[in-house]
Amino acid sequence: MRPCIVSSCGPALRPYWPLLKDTWDLVFMIEETAKMGRQIGWPATFLGEYMPKLTHEAMWQVVASDFVSIDWQKAEAAFRFTGWDAHAEDWLKGWTIKQLGDLAPRLACLDNLAQTRQVAGVLLHEDITNGANYVAQWARNHKIPCVHVAHGGYGMNWRPDVPVSWWDVHLSMNSDVVCCWNEGQAQSFLANGARPDQVVVTGPGIFDHWVKLARDTKFAREILGLEQNKPVVAWLGDFCIKNEPRGTDDRITSGFKTFLEAAKLLADWQVIANPHPGMHVWSVQWHVDRMNEAGVHGIVVENNIELIAQAADVFYTATGSTVCIEASVLGTTTALPSDIAKGDPFYVGCDWRDPASIADAIRRAYGRATDLDWREARSKALVQLVGVPDGKATDRVMAVLRQRFSATATN
């Protein structure tokens, strides 16, 4: 049996799976991805298939063992430092015991996998949420290489004369190595404690796809059932903007409702809603229900972001999204809140609480598509962000993966 790689399922990793499958079997952390992989002939399985036969009591013994090993004074101080909560001592232990209870079955799957298969490595598109951090920590404890391929431009500032003034949770280094978009992101990881041998500048492989993708608005609108001669705005859903451990972000719920009020001010526009693929709380049906309540006609499209980017004239998001930058390669412009835009050349800012401000920003973003000066500025900014898009970032990332994972296979 061939060695395997455990992989998260973020879109940023899509370029690498078809290339990895020729050498390693793929064990996906999400069942749907594993099913889709098998349907197209990949050697793919779901991590949950490796669940061992453990009693309820045995599972909670694992949880209890992890719980008592935590330095609570340091943990509470860390939460206060990040600004998540000034009263972590009131709730952190209770929240943690629930998280450990959720993670224990997954850790049991990983342990069983390692006992029955040779695990060559772990591939993650982020390593800070509960769904990925535990895998990175597990890999470290088992001396299995773990590679984080950055899925976004976190830790970067568009204005070189203004220092980065925020602490980005994505810069926590839990993997063995991170593949960065550019030198600026690499420096941010180093400034937050990463060692030089843990940081590699590769560029984002997801941009290779967008560079090679030819825009075909007519075809995309035909597929989606949209009129050809009316402008289109697409709402992009998101995760909680701060990756907070408690509650939800009001920008997603109220933000979408406010966007729908703005859509009423755009009489001739067509509306697409695109839920975030990983946030099931705000599902397709949730978006459909909110649109019906608001009396806004439109369509809800899950996934298929490339098709949406070709059909839409403007993206709008209340929280920001890497997709907005990727789609700019195709000429799709973006409106989003001014506190996120920060003068970025890809965006037109607005007040996310004000429907009139959102509608105005969408109109202005639409006008930019034909603004040659702005298009030149956007092209320069894209080079600053990812380097010259040469279509070879995937090759550079794959060189890192092969080096790391092959070393394990030969040990």
Q: CATH number for the domain including 303?
A: 3.40.50.2000
Residue with tokens 């008592």: 68
Tens-place pLDDT, residues 323-338: 777 777 777 888 988 8
Specify the range with the lowest mean pLDDT, choosing from 141-145, 282-286, 358-362: 282-286
The confidence score (pLDDT) of residue 74 equals 67
Residues 62 and 182 in one domain: yes
Looking at the fold, whether 177 and 313 belong to one and the same domain comes out as no
Phi-psi map region of 22: left, alpha, beta (phi>0 left; psi -120 to 50 alpha): alpha
Contact 122, 106 (CB under 8 A): no
Given this model, what pLDDT does residue 379 score? 73
In a domain, 19, yes or no: yes
Looking at residue 226, what is its pLDDT?
96
| 351 touches 262 (CB < 8 A) | no
Helix (H) or strand (E) holding 232: strand 232-236
Residue 312: which pLDDT band, with cuts at 50, 70 and 90?
Answer: very high
Mean pLDDT of the chain: 82
210 lies in a domain?
no
Highest mean pLDDT range out of 99-103, 214-218, 343-347, 353-357? 353-357
Largest CA-CA distance found in the chain, in angstroms, rounded: 66
Digit-coded pLDDT (tens) for 92-145 = 777 777 777 778 888 889 999 999 999 999 999 988 877 788 899 899 989 999
CB atoms within 10 A of CB 181: 27
Asked whether residue 208 is domain-assigned, the answer is no
Predicted confidence band of residue 8 (pLDDT cuts 50, 70, 90): very high
| Whether residue 108 sits in one domain with residue 173 | yes
**H or E stretch covering 135:** helix 130-141
Q: Which residue has the higher pLDDT, 20 or 171?
A: 20
For 95-201, where are the E strands, in sequence order? 119-124, 146-149, 177-180, 199-201
| Residue 83 belongs to domain with CATH number | 3.40.50
User: Starting from the edge strand earliest in sequence, which strands make up the sheet with 119-124, in order?
Assistant: 44-46, 25-28, 4-7, 119-124, 146-149, 177-180, 199-201
| Residue 188: predicted pLDDT | 82
Same domain, 259 and 350: yes
Reading phi first (left if > 0) and then psi (alpha if -120 to 50, else beta), residue 197 is in alpha
Same domain, 174 and 43: yes
**Same domain, yes or no, for 106 and 167?**
yes
Match 């070879």 to its residue by tokens: 392
32, 45 Cβ separation under 8 angstroms: no
**Residue 48 CB contacts under 8 Å (≥ 6 apart), including other chains:** 31, 109
C-beta separation of 361 from 348 below 8 A: yes
Q: Within a domain: residue 278? A: yes
158-172, 175-189, 362-376 — most confident range: 175-189
Same-domain status, 376 and 397: no
Residue 110 lies in a domain: yes
Task: Name the band, by pLDDT with cuts 50, 70 and 90, for residue 68.
Answer: low
The answer, as to whether pTM is greater than 0.85, is no
pLDDT score of 275: 86
- Residues 194 and 176: beta-carbon distance below 8 Å: no
Residue-wise pLDDT tens digits, 187-206: 888 888 889 999 999 988 88
Kindly state whether residues 18 and 123 are assigned to the same domain: yes
**At residue 201, what are phi and psi to the nearest 5 degrees?**
-90, 115
Mark whether 75 and 189 lie in a shared domain: yes
Residues 272 and 336 in one domain: yes
CA 216 to centroid of chain Cα atoms: 25
Distance, CA of 217 to CA of 234 (rounded, Å): 14
- pLDDT for the residue 5: 97
Helix or strand run (H / E) with residue 264: helix 250-264
Residues 11, 134 within the same domain: yes
Total domains in the fold of the chain: 2
Mean pLDDT of 215-219: 89
Q: Are residues 362 and 312 in the same domain?
A: yes
Q: Which residues contact 55 (CB under 8 A, 6 or more apart)?
A: none
Q: What confidence score (pLDDT) does residue 411 get?
A: 45
The mean pLDDT of 354-372, rounded to a whole number, is 90
209 in a structural domain: no
Mean pLDDT score, 58-79: 68
**Enclosing domain of residue 52:** 4-203+391-410
Q: Say whether 243 sits in a helix, a strand or coil.
A: coil
**pLDDT band at residue 26 under the 50/70/90 scheme:** very high
User: Is residue 158's pLDDT more than 50?
Assistant: no
What does the block give as tokens for 164?
A: 């980065």
- Cβ–Cβ under 8 Å, residues 251 and 352: yes
Q: Helices (H) and strands (E) in the chain — how many of each?
A: 17, 13
